[in-house]
Chain A
C-alpha cells in the first residue's frame, strides 16, 4: 500500500497494490493528538495527560473555590502527616512519674501507662532514655530484652478499656509507632482486641537498620470489645527504643504530634499522681487533730483519677505534723485512710504533743517524703 498524508489531519490516501481503489486510512492516535493540540491552541486549556488516564497534576493555586465537594475528602485520602487526635496517654514516652530507674517486673509500669508483660523466661528491662530519642522528642523507653521461652509474646503495652471511657469499639483504628533497633526481626507492634473475632493485628518487623522506623497497624475493633491493647512485641534479644506512638480513629496511620506538656501530664495524672521531691519543710496539707497523738489529713487531688486509687506513703519518719505551737512532731505511723477518685486522706500518728480539736499542718522532713495515688482501670 502506498499513499500520501493530508495537511490538516494525519489522513492517508492509499491504493492497494492489487486493485485501483482508493482508501482513506486513519491513524486514530495521531488524529486524537492533533485534535487535542488544536483544542489547546484555540482555548489555551491544558489537559495534558488527564485524557489518557494519567493522574491529574494541578498547578499551584489552581483550585480556588469548590472544586472539591464538601465532605468528600475521606480519612483514607489523608497523608500520614495530617495530625489526628491521639487516643493514647503518654504516647511520646515522655512522662515517668514513677521514676527513671529500670523497671523489670511483669505487670510493672515504666513510662506512665506503659506496662511490662513478660512471657515464659524472657526478661525485659525498661528505662527512661534521652540519648536515643526520635526527632524532637524529650525521652523514650529504652528496652533491653533477652529472649527466653517467650516465643515473641513478651510485650510493652498500653491498655485502653471501654470501662475507662474509651470509645473505640466498632471503629477502625490505626497505630503509628516509632521504633529503633539494630536487630532485624526483633521488634514489631500490634493491636490486640477482645470481643467477637478479636485478635492481634501486627505490623511488620523493624528491619534492624539501627534508625527509627515507623511501624503501623490498622484494625477494626469488634463492636463488643471491652479492651484494646497497644503493644510492642519482642521476638529476639535486642535493645530497642520506643518513642512517639499515635493511635487514631481512621484507616490511615498518622504521625505522632506532641501534646502541650501540660496536657500530656494531665492525662498521665488521671492514673498516677505523686507528691514527691518537695523541699524540707514543705506544707503538703492541713488537717484536723482528734487526739493527742492522732490527726486526719485530707489531700485533694488535682486530677480526677480513673478509679478509686491505691494510696502509698513513704516512711512515717519522712513526715511531721505541727503542734499547737508549731513544733514539728515526727510521725510514728502514717497510712492512707480513705480515697476516692478525686481526694484522699491520711491518718498520722505521733508520740505526743497534739491537742484534740486543733488544726495542724502536714510537712515534709526530708527529700524522701512521697505520697502517691495510683488508679489503674
Chain B
C-alpha cells in the first residue's frame, strides 16, 4: 500500500508507520511527526498537494509521496495532512497554523474537491 501512518497517537509520541508492500515483505517503524514533510516544488518551496514519508525501517530507504487526496490510504493520508497543516499551516499560503481541526478539515477538503472532486474527502474529524 505504500508507507503510511497506522497510529497517530501511540504511547511515547510520534507516529507509527507501516510499509506493507516493501520489497521482501512488509515492515513497520516509528517516525516523529516532524520527519514527515510537504513535497517540494522545483524552486524548493513546499507543495501543499503532496507529503513525503521515508520508510524508517533500517536499510529500506523507500520513500512514499502521498497526494492530498489520499492516494493509497485515503483516511490515513488525509488525517496526516490535517495534522501537518494544524502544526505548520498550509503551504498554499491562505491558511495559517494553529487553527482548529474542523476549520483545517474544511480548508483541505476544499483543495481536494478542486483536484479530485468533493466525494474524495473521507475524514470527518480527528482525535486531537
Q: B25 → chain A, closest Cβ, in Å? A: 4
Interface size on B, residues (CB 8 A): 40
Complexed CA–CA distance, A347 and B76 (Å): 24
Which listed residue, A105, A107, A307, touches B71 by the CB 8 Å rule? A307
The answer on a CB contact under 8 Å between A105 and B18 is yes
Which listed residue, B3, B52, B115, touches A308 by the CB 8 Å rule? B115
B77 at the interface (CB under 8 A from A): yes
Contact A315 to B62, CB < 8 A, known contacts A101-B24, A376-B72: yes
**Max chain A Cβ within 10 angstroms of own Cβ: one of B1, B42, B116, B120:** B1
The answer on a CB contact under 8 Å between A335 and B63 is yes
Q: Contacts of A226 on B, CB cut-off 8 Å?
A: 119
B6 at the interface (CB under 8 A from A): yes
Complexed CA–CA distance, A104 and B28 (Å): 12
**Chain B contacts with A in 25-66, Cβ cutoff 8 A:** 25-26, 28, 39-40, 42, 49-50, 52, 60-66
Interface size on A, residues (CB 8 A): 42
Instruction: State the main secondary structure of chain B at its contact with A.
Output: mixed
Which listed residue, B25, B73, B117, B119, touches A310 by the CB 8 Å rule? B73
A370 at the interface (CB under 8 A from B): yes
Q: B91 → chain A, closest Cβ, in Å? A: 14
The answer on a CB contact under 8 Å between B1 and A374 is yes
Which listed residue, A105, A307, A317, touches B70 by the CB 8 Å rule? A307
Q: Contacts of B39 on A, CB cut-off 8 Å?
A: 335-337
The answer on a CB contact under 8 Å between B20 and A307 is no
Complexed CA–CA distance, A108 and B25 (Å): 12
Q: A291 → chain B, closest Cβ, in Å? A: 10
Closest to A277 in B: B23
Q: Contacts of B115 on A, CB cut-off 8 Å?
A: 308
B14 at the interface (CB under 8 A from A): no
Q: Contacts of A276 on B, CB cut-off 8 Å?
A: 23
The answer on a CB contact under 8 Å between A108 and B62 is no
A171 at the interface (CB under 8 A from B): no
Given contacts A104-B26, A308-B69, A376-B74, 5 further A-B contacts (CB under 8 A): A307-B70, A313-B62, A336-B63, A337-B39, A338-B49
Sample of 26 A–B contacts (CB below 8 Å): A101-B24, A105-B18, A107-B6, A109-B1, A109-B20, A226-B119, A296-B42, A307-B69, A308-B67, A308-B69, A310-B1, A310-B2, A310-B71, A311-B71, A314-B23, A314-B61, A315-B62, A334-B63, A335-B52, A336-B65, A337-B50, A337-B65, A339-B67, A347-B40, A368-B23, A374-B72
